[in-house]
């Protein structure tokens, strides 16, 4: 009878030792898994932080692009206005050049007429042509 009790106690001790070993192994595995989970949580937090930074940068770039687009549109309007002003001034310049040419022709014609009148005038009398008539000096 004592032998049976001893065999049972030995079997129980062996079983308990085996269970303790399994329990320790499971405990070690759980600790490792907990550490891995903590590492993954840290990595996920870092990725969340990086994602937030990238989103903020993207928003900043979007706003900068909008501002650049508005600046470009404003410069285009200013350029268009200046091009229109240049076109207008070129037309005015051409008109003034044409008018100047007409005035030069008119002056040359009056000068020729004055010279002709002076040639025809009596000696000692100078004729000056005035728009609508002749003045003798």
pLDDT at 56 over 90: yes
End-to-end CA distance of the chain: 171
Rg (CA), the chain: 55
pLDDT digits (tens, 9 = 90+) for 88-125: 999 999 999 999 999 999 999 988 887 877 777 666 66
Q: Which residues pair with 136 in a beta bridge?
A: 127
pLDDT grade, residue 129 (50/70/90)?
Answer: low
Question: What pLDDT was estimated at residue 121?
Answer: 65
pLDDT digits (tens, 9 = 90+) for 57-70: 999 999 999 999 99
Q: In this structure, is the dihedral angle defined by the CA atoms of residues 128, 129, 131 and 132, taken in order, positive or negative?
A: positive
Total-model pTM: 0.49
Helix (H/G/I), strand (E/B), else coil: 128: strand
pLDDT at 127 over 90: no
pLDDT digits (tens, 9 = 90+) for 26-51: 999 999 999 999 999 999 999 999 99
From CA 120, how far away is CA 27, in angstroms rounded? 136
Under 8 Å between Cβ of 114 and 127: yes
């Amino acid at each position: 009878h004592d032998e049976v009790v001893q065999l049972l106690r030995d079997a129980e001790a062996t079983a308990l030792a085996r269970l303790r070993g399994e329990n320790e192994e499971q405990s070690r595995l759980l600790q490792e898994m907990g550490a891995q989970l903590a590492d993954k949580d840290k990595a996920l937090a870092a990725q969340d932080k990086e994602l937030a930074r990238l989103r903020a940068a993207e928003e900043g770039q979007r706003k900068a692009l909008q501002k650049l687009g508005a600046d470009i549109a404003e410069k285009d309007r200013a350029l268009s206005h200046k091009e229109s002003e240049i076109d207008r001034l070129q037309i005015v310049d051409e008109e003034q050049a044409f008018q100047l040419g007409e005035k030069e022709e008119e002056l040359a014609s009056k000068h020729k007429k004055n010279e002709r009148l002076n040639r025809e005038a009596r000696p000692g009398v100078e004729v000056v042509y005035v728009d609508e008539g002749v003045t003798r000096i």
